Structure 1
């Protein structure tokens, strides 16, 4: 049973990746991302780029941003291209279709992030060959890649929920953009409205926990939210309803 499910998920993943590659805008976006963030900016900063916290932040944040750029197409795009009916009429089970699209999006943006990080390391070492080879600190690299996968899962889960019911890709993208801007606005407003005493308490609490515990707690929270979003998407995924929409 599990073997069949994994095989079906793999089928959907390869289908999605093939569609990504066939889209010229996606390929151009991939090359632009790797060249700018994997070559141009790191070379300007030099070796200090590899040891700074910037690559960690990029690896943690960029996958979510990249995922939002492609997840709107996951179901709304199929609906626009009139291929959703064919997909839903196939022998593939519901969970395989949903998981396949989720894994394809997360794997795509995470792989692009890894390619960007490796390109940056090669570019920096090539631009400054003296002093021996340099690479990212292992802890920062692993933390960034883990958070990158989790943040991509967050964006993919939320995006799939929206795309399931959106009539067009544009509508899904607009809802996701408005939602993201709303979250940012609410977050900034909430942070500004917090009393100074609460802010000091939060800062002291984080310092008391230490970086390792803070990262683990944040990762666990992200993983929990990812799981909730995926579970809700699974509950809302109904073939008959999707065919009627």
Structure 2
């Protein structure tokens, strides 16, 4: 399994496809790992170089010792591109990964051909809410967060229709390192890009889930209105739309990148 040393810590990543093809980077949501993109990687790898990674403190990327903020999450992506000798890439991130994409569009526009910002917002939740969650998992572990995750991530119909998929994702969340999860909650507590997203110049597509209670369609519409030339698409899904509406998400992403 390949790892990259970044700021004294290890970042786990995976590549699929031919490195000679155009590159797309996939960035996971809070509490998941790079496997959440399995369907999209399979759909894109025939003619794209797909790079995905476990965000800091997630999956097989240890939380490490470096302070975590949105800038650090964005700089991890730049370090990964540099490590792979990729000058420019498309980027698709969901939820926390979508905030990372916004930061990259603001601070490293020369590195990205396109941005896909899925189920995200320029400000997600409230500082108090994130700090309370971080304190809870530091004290009590991941069980309480995992128990309520399915209802935040998926519609009731999907939970009933695909219990095995839901259970697998919730189990991964339950196994998440509490310190790494809490550190990213604390990063989100202080992440607010509302004053900056209008400076994004890369072509941008916003994807919103029609039933998303976390980052609502209104949040997506606000981003679309702020980012010059951005497009907005909605999918019949809740918060993790690339899994709940997997085929539609993959087709949408593939069409946009082409």
Question: Which has more radius of gyration?
Answer: 1
Report which of the two has the higher share of strand. Answer: 2
Interval of TM-score (by shorter of Structure 1 and Structure 2): 0.3 to 0.5
Report which of the two has the higher share of helix. Answer: 1
When the two structures are superposed, what TM-score results if normalisation uses the length of structure 1?
0.32
When the two structures are superposed, what TM-score results if normalisation uses the length of structure 2?
0.31
Higher normalized contact order (CA 8 Å, seq sep 6+, divided by chain length): 1
